[in-house]
A and B are shown apart, each in its own frame.
Chain A
Amino acid sequence: MVNKQGQTRLAKYFAEFLTTDERRALEGEVVRKCLSRTDKQCSFYEHRQYKIVYRRYASLFFMIGVDDDENELAVLEFIHCFVEVLDKHFGQVCELDIMNEPEMVHYILDEMLLNGQIVDTNKANILEPVQLLEQVTT
């Protein structure tokens, strides 16, 4: 997740392990390309051996890198599903929420994506453990 100025808000990796420098380089390339695309273009493009599917919500860009045989439209909708879940949890989610509680966003993502596969998109299922966690006092 990146904002309009290209500042990374959240990053999660599933495939090969990249070192911090490699991640930074990859993220820089992807973000630059993404921010320079217009509305009239496809929401996906090819980068190295991946396809990047992205979607913009107000000031935040959500980008997912997938391999070639993935259904791009499905990934696009997965991004939207994820945003809807975040919305339900935070109530009118905005960039500030993500900045202040990044661990919650990670936990939610862990319920939906594992091993790089879409496991569950049922909002009730996803939010149940997360809400339980919030009720536990620190």
Chain B
Amino acid sequence: MASLREKIAQGLKTGPKFLKEFREFDNLVKAIGECKSKAEEDRIITQELELLKQRLSDPKLDRSRGKEYMIRLIYCEMLGHDASFSYVKALQFASDPNIHTKKAAYLALTQFLDCNNQLVLLLVNTLLSDMKSDNYLIVCTALVATTKLIGADLVNAVYPVVVERLRHPKEHVRKKAVLALHWFASLDPRRDGPLAGVELDKHFRTMLCDKDPSVMSAALCALHDCIKADPRPYKNLIPSFTSILKQVSEHRLPKSYDYHRFPAPFIQIKLLKILAALGAGDRASSENMAAVLHQALRRANTSHTIGSAIIYECVRTITTIYPNPALLAAAAESISAFLRSPSHNLRYVGIDALAGITALNPAAAAEHQVAVLDCLEDPDDTLKLKTLELLYKMTKANNIQVIVDKMMGYLATCPDEHIRRDIVRKVSDLAERYAPSPSWFVSTISEVFRLGGEHVDDGAAHRLTALIAEQDAELHGSAVEAYLALLDGEGGAGAGGQQAGGPRKKLPETILLVICWVLGEYGHLARRPPAAVLSRLLGVLTAHKSATDRVRATLLSALTKLAAHTGGAAGPVGTALLQPHSSGGSSPGSDAAAFVHACANSQNLDLQQRAHELQALLGCPPSLLAAALPADAARQSFSAAELAEVAALPFLDSMVERALAAGAAPYLTPEARGKATELQAKGLRFEAYEPAPFAVPLSGASTSYGTAAAADARSGPSSSGPSGSAASTYSSAAPAEPQLVLKGAGGRRSL
């Protein structure tokens, strides 16, 4: 800390204020470190920000303390407080000749801003001049700032200078220039924006052959991204990559690149990833790589974690490229070693690698069954999740039930939303592919909906209902019983308060929709009497006070169908639904009727329509009802042509013709309608409005005020019909009283 002592010695010469100011940052950090509550921390930081605001806006600002101020600002923002007042000041400091201030300012800017921020525009000139500086430290700093702050719109301003820097004598500069280009490439991945026609990968290939290994390593990072996007143009680089990997693993790089006696492990791992991307699915390329992969695998050992990291990456590469038996055998051995190790990290890695190899060689997983089961039971969540992923890959028709059970068990207890979504997706996928029987499928998917319904999309619900529709009556009966039981469980827990099983979670909407549909279609197959089914359905409403309109709509349709299938208007359900609204009492029948009436008057058009349909259909003779809602018709599917035919509504044609003949206006499509009104409403009007017919002329200015006001009030809200007519009727009522016109108009203007 010699420089610190020197600093203090120098500073003390400037006067007594120095020590107090010098310790300001230290005191700040210490104070934050010692404070016991968030409120106290907030208070200290707000004070600090106030102080900094004062100092920075002071024209007599001490520029030599610029670096310190920048650091304090970074610190405050890191702790979550906004310091945006200082951004412009930071921009100014970035052009300061003192290198410490400059670097600190650039650091602050990269922490505060991003490439979409408008302020970056002000920085471009400074960046350009810094990139051409003689001091390579400054060039490096500018290049680093470029990778964070330059966006697609500013790329072309900086691009030529950056390319220049690729030939800088200092390897640090070249390294950063390559990565700046890498960043530019990611801004415009398909080269159709600002970088159209630019051959970035030519630069990367040249830098790959740079004599300094760190620049080569930077080029690897850039090339990796290019290769991930499209491997084909880079297959001719495979010999270069394999030879580099060979040399690196043979310790041919300078000793300083060693890490714990492993030669440049991170470079090796990068190369392995690149080779994996290049060799995938390509037999010829994979054969070129085989030798070097063997070598890399052999030379790494598990004495240190980094060795295991290299082995893991090798195994991943081997399982990604075209299968090579010798390599796969070597990989399997390494995996066994991982799974046997006591370290959690290595077992995690082993399971991950096993998942990769299972696709190619299912027997491998069977060998390690015991280890896998251990990992599944492990209290560590991460390991459990990874094992579930492995099981997902291993699922076949014969073990799907067990695996799905395990996954559902996890789903029931896991709180993390992201993971739940993942599991729901996996289980639905597996169930659709390997379900042993439709009834198992139905029960599993229903369970999925129940536990994770909020993550399921509508398509899945539709597919489930379509599947149920195709099955026979036995499945329908069992589905109905199952869903009724679900509703029972919910309703029972709600009504009975605390039960032994504890409170049940509310059923998510998706399953509610499915349940309503199924009960509507097949409720007549239930073992309990229809009235009970009806009351259960209505129980849904009471249990879910915040049920959306979709649920209500589905419920209405379900009630209609249930009534139709259980004897029409005369059956128990039908009579319940058609009871007059006024009857009081709390029998389930009146609840149903009340519900239907409420929907018939609801704002939602869909609900209204369905409620009216229900009442109308139930009022029809039984034969019509049976034709409209036949039992078990859900399995009937219509072809597209039939649907189109129906959609044209041919049976109404005669009615339309009669109306047209009687002088009704023909139908205007919304586009045609829109054009007519558009022409009126677009743009400013330059002609005066017609004078208001009702305003009584008064003397002087008040006349124009009155007329203008009345005219405005009339023609202004012309688009909203009712209010416009109300305004005009109001003004037409007023003409007898001239004073009132003015006042009334004035009042309306202020509305």
Contact = CB atoms under 8 A, between A and B. Distances in A.
A117 to B, nearest CB: 4
Interface of B: 3, 7, 26, 29, 32-33, 64, 67, 70-71, 74-75, 77-82, 98-100, 103-104, 107, 111, 114-116, 136-137, 140, 144, 147, 171-172, 175-176, 179, 182-183, 186, 213-214, 217-218, 221, 256-257, 259, 264-266, 269-270, 273, 305-306, 308-309, 312-313, 316, 344-345, 348-349, 379-383, 385, 416, 418-419
A118 B266 contact: yes
Given A132-B137, A133-B103, A138 B29 contact: no
B513 to A, nearest CB: 29
Contact of B179 (A7, A8, A117): A117
26 contacts: A11-B78, A12-B111, A21-B80, A40-B379, A41-B379, A42-B348, A42-B380, A44-B382, A47-B418, A71-B312, A74-B306, A81-B266, A102-B71, A103-B74, A103-B104, A111-B172, A114-B144, A115-B182, A115-B186, A117-B221, A121-B257, A121-B265, A122-B256, A133-B100, A136-B99, A138-B7
Contact of A76 (B214, B305, B380): B305
A102 B104 CA distance: 10
Most buried by B among A8, A76, A115, A123: A115
Nearest to A44: B382
A128 B172 contact: yes
A73 B217 contact: no
A99 interface: yes
Contacts of B3: 134
A110 interface: yes
The size bracket of the interface on A is 35 or more
Contacts of A40: 344, 379-380
Across chains A and B, which 8 residue pairs bring their CB atoms closest together, nearest first?
Answer: A17-B114, A73-B309, A24-B80, A117-B221, A74-B309, A41-B380, A77-B306, A114-B179
A93 B221 CA distance: 30
B283 to A, nearest CB: 23
A17 B148 CA distance: 10
Contacts of A49: 418
Given A48-B418, A103-B104, A119-B175, A72 B349 contact: yes
Contacts of B144: 110, 114
Contact of B172 (A8, A102, A125): A125
Contacts of A48: 418
Given A40-B380, A77-B265, A129-B172, 14 more contacts: A41-B382, A46-B418, A46-B419, A49-B418, A73-B309, A74-B309, A114-B144, A119-B175, A119-B214, A120-B217, A122-B257, A133-B137, A134-B3, A138-B100
Contacts of B80: 20-21, 23-24
B32 to A, nearest CB: 7
A98 B276 CA distance: 38
A126 B313 CA distance: 25
A58 interface: no
A71 B186 contact: no
A45 B382 contact: yes
Contact of A71 (B115, B136, B259, B269): B269
A49 B418 CA distance: 7
A133 B140 CA distance: 12
Given A7-B32, A133-B137, A138 B64 contact: yes
A43 B345 contact: yes
A41 B386 CA distance: 13
Contacts of B305: 73, 76-77
Given A8-B79, A73-B345, A103-B71, A115 B214 contact: no
A120 B591 CA distance: 73
Contacts of A133: 99-100, 103, 137
Given A7-B33, A120-B217, A73 B308 contact: yes
A101 to B, nearest CB: 9
Contacts of A78: 266
A133 B264 CA distance: 26
Contacts of A125: 171-172, 214, 256
Interface in A19-71: 20-21, 23-24, 40-49, 71
A2 to B, nearest CB: 11
Nearest to B98: A138
Contacts of B379: 40-41
Contact of A42 (B183, B256, B383): B383
Given A115-B221, A120-B217, A125-B214, A20 B77 contact: yes
Contacts of A119: 175, 179, 214, 217-218, 221
Interface of A: 7-8, 10-12, 17, 20-21, 23-24, 40-49, 71-74, 76-78, 81, 99-100, 102-103, 106-107, 110-111, 114-115, 117-125, 128-129, 132-134, 136, 138
Contacts of A136: 99-100
Given A81-B259, A138-B64, A71 B26 contact: no
Contacts of B182: 115, 117
A66 B359 CA distance: 25
Given A7-B33, A106-B107, A138-B64, A100 B26 contact: yes
Nearest to A25: B80
Contacts of A123: 256
Contact of B344 (A7, A42, A134): A42
Contacts of A102: 71, 74-75
A71 B300 CA distance: 16
A42 B137 contact: no
A72 B79 contact: no
Nearest to A125: B214
Contacts of B147: 114-115
A74 B176 CA distance: 22
A87 B408 CA distance: 47
A14 to B, nearest CB: 8
Contacts of B312: 71, 73
Nearest to B309: A73
A107 B136 CA distance: 14
B214 A122 contact: yes
B99 A42 contact: no
Contacts of A45: 381-382
Nearest to A81: B259
A74 B266 contact: yes
Contacts of A122: 213-214, 256-257
Contacts of A129: 136-137, 140, 172
A129 B345 CA distance: 35
A22 to B, nearest CB: 10
B346 to A, nearest CB: 8
A7 B3 CA distance: 28
Contacts of A134: 3
Contact of A99 (B33, B77, B186, B217): B33
B116 A114 contact: no
A100 B344 CA distance: 35
Contacts of B179: 114-115, 117, 119
B24 to A, nearest CB: 13
B259 A121 contact: yes
B353 to A, nearest CB: 11
Contacts of A103: 67, 70-71, 74, 103-104, 107
Nearest to A128: B172
Contacts of B77: 20
Contacts of B306: 73-74, 77
A111 B379 CA distance: 39
A117 B273 CA distance: 13
Contacts of B270: 118
Contact of B265 (A10, A47, A74, A106): A74
A8 B345 CA distance: 26
Contacts of A100: 26, 29
